[in-house]
DNA sequence: TTGCATAGTGTTAAAGTAACACTATGCAAA
DNA sequence: TTTGCATAGTGTTACTTTAACACTATGCAA
């Protein structure tokens, strides 16, 4: 039995990961072969992970479902950040060709609710079911379908703002991480180079970044101490003094 | 000719205004009269300003249209902040009664894209066409329909965060305002009491809050100097040094 | 003329930020 | 075993920002 979908509503997920000291996005290949000549590829580019919403399905559940399907992960950081609904967002020639071939009864205007997700990319196993899905560095994206360049840009802006105020960067790192890894994360997402000593001083004042009695293994240099992030400690210790800074 | 709408998609606007040193929301009365007994009112409460989206209409245009209809204003501050799509958001008994009577062919699940808007309430004229629409203080809201209490709460959270970082509070004040009015605005939205001298010192350092050679008129006490806000100056002078503050 | 209501003004201690360079450690290669 | 290499880890200081605090000034109305 096939579930019924809203044919004018979809969820798109911008899934961020961090590898080689660079922020990456997960993309899926979209390819269309000429029906008359199966050797000929009419269209080949990449898109975000998106699906239509089932009738009766909560938005957040739809996003969770898509994530689970594409990464195998549950319980990961996921947040709605914007909804895209320009009347012309699917009207580019190549997107229309693809939609007509793949989704004949889609609505001419599809509103897409976009979520962004932060994952520890080392936990995402290359999926047999989705071999065409992979990580792409944010600074070197391939050709993208639909309005996905815009969606990614807005997700990135949102991430850059949010990472300054809330401890979400940890979601991109393994459970155990070093302070240098953390700094690399901030440096690369923000496109700046923070001062190493000031950064470490600041982090060591954060009670929710907890040093372990454990060091890196198998590195060809002085091994660094590893830390974990505790959301519980964060919640308990964060202070709520609003400061106006325009 | 009637325009076709997406029957599973709507836009709701949380319109904020500032009066009597209190943040207000604009609400519209929703009333249902018993068809068998026109003297009997079955349902009476309030809702946000919302409408279905026309097919082919951009989301932002739909929000703009609603605002124009309800307030008479254009070119006002308007921003999408969240999309609400729980499967059960319209399923409360009273809402179902109302929907069946008013919108017989509505979809059982309606996704609503919510915008929040900041207006100078002194410019909103009591509208003959919508006499049932008015301002309600955020701390003393009447009975509300649908999931609108939740939508208003999330709008308010969003506003509280945003007003600390971006100069949007001015949108709620008349073009010319005094520093005391501005402080009252912050105090009341944030629910705190900022120090008067520190606040004035901070504001006087903001180049985009420009003092005029003009004083308040017709006040029964020492008249205050009036100021204007310049978005242009703001854009030119704002600095973009990110600071991490978790 | 007085009272009232609100406008407007400065100083100081404390905290936070930014700028800056060297030593320590563990492994690997010679 | 020694040396080099790569990265870890550490403090001080000047400067800036914030927080706490109370009195005088002005314009109108009674």
Span B97-131, pLDDT tens digits: 999 999 999 999 999 999 999 999 999 976 666 77
Gap from A186 CA to chain B (nearest CA, Å) = 9
Q: Which residue is nearest to nucleotide D26 (CA to C1')?
A: B222
* Cβ–Cβ < 8 Å for B199, A242: no
Q: Do B244 and A192 touch (CB under 8 A)?
A: no
Q: Does residue A165 sit in the same domain as residue A181? A: no
In this complex, is the C-beta atom of B32 within 8 Å of any C-beta atom belonging to chain A?
Answer: no
| Nearest nucleotide relative to A220: CA against C1' | C27
In this complex, is the C-beta atom of A190 within 8 Å of any C-beta atom belonging to chain B?
Answer: yes
* Cβ–Cβ < 8 Å for B109, B87: yes
Query: For residue range B56-104, what is the model confidence (pLDDT) as tens digits?
Result: 999 999 999 999 999 999 999 999 999 999 999 999 999 999 999 999 9
Bridge partners (DSSP) listed for residue A80: A115
Within 10 angstroms of residue A178's Cβ, the number of other Cβ atoms is: 18
Mean pLDDT score of chain B: 95
Q: Do A85 and B53 touch (CB under 8 A)?
A: yes
Which structural domain, as residue segments, surrounds residue B221? 175-246
Q: Does residue B43 sit in the same domain as residue B160? A: yes
pLDDT at res. B1? 62
Single residue among B154, B172, B190 that ends a domain in this structure: B172
Helix axes A179-190, A148-165, angle to 10 degrees: 130
Distance in Å from D4's C1' to A213's CA comes to 29
Q: Does residue A143 sit in the same domain as residue A51? A: yes
CATH number, residue A183:
1.10.10.10
Nearest CA in chain B to A190: B242
Q: Does residue A189 sit in the same domain as residue A205? A: yes
Chain C bases having any atom below 7 Å from a protein CB: 4-11, 17-21, 24-28
Q: How many structural domains are present in chain B? A: 2
* Tokens encoding A215: 């060091």
Q: Between A and B, how many CB-CB pairs are < 8 A? A: 94
A220 touches strand C (CB under 7 A): yes
The burial class, CB within 10 Å (0-12 / 13-18 / 19+), for A40 is exposed
Q: Which residues of chain A have pLDDT under 70?
A: 1, 126-129
């Amino acid at each position: 039995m096939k579930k019924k979908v809203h044919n004018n509503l979809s969820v798109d997920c911008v899934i961020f990961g961090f590898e080689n000291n660079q922020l990456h996005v997960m993309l899926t290949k979209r390819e269309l072969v000429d029906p008359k000549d199966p050797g000929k590829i009419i269209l080949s580019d990449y898109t975000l992970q998106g699906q239509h919403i089932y009738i009766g399905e909560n938005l957040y559940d739809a996003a969770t479902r898509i994530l689970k399907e594409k990464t195998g992960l549950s319980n990961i950081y996921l947040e709605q950040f914007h909804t895209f609904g320009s009347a012309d967002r699917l009207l580019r020639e190549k997107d229309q060709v693809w939609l007509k071939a793949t989704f004949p009864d889609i609505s001419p205007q599809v509103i897409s609710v976009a979520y962004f997700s932060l994952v520890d990319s080392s936990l995402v196993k290359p999926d047999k079911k989705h071999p065409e899905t992979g990580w792409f560095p944010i600074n070197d994206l391939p050709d993208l379908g639909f309005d996905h360049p815009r969606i990614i840009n807005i997700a990135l802006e949102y991430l850059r703002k949010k990472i300054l105020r809330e401890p979400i960067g940890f979601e991109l790192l393994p459970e155990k991480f070093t302070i240098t890894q953390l700094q690399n994360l901030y440096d690369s997402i923000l496109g700046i180079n923070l001062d190493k000593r000031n950064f470490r001083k600041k982090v060591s004042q954060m009670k929710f970044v907890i040093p372990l009695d454990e060091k890196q293994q198998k590195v060809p240099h002085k091994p660094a101490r590893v830390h974990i992030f505790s959301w519980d400690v964060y919640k308990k210790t964060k202070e709520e003094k609003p400061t106006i800074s325009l």
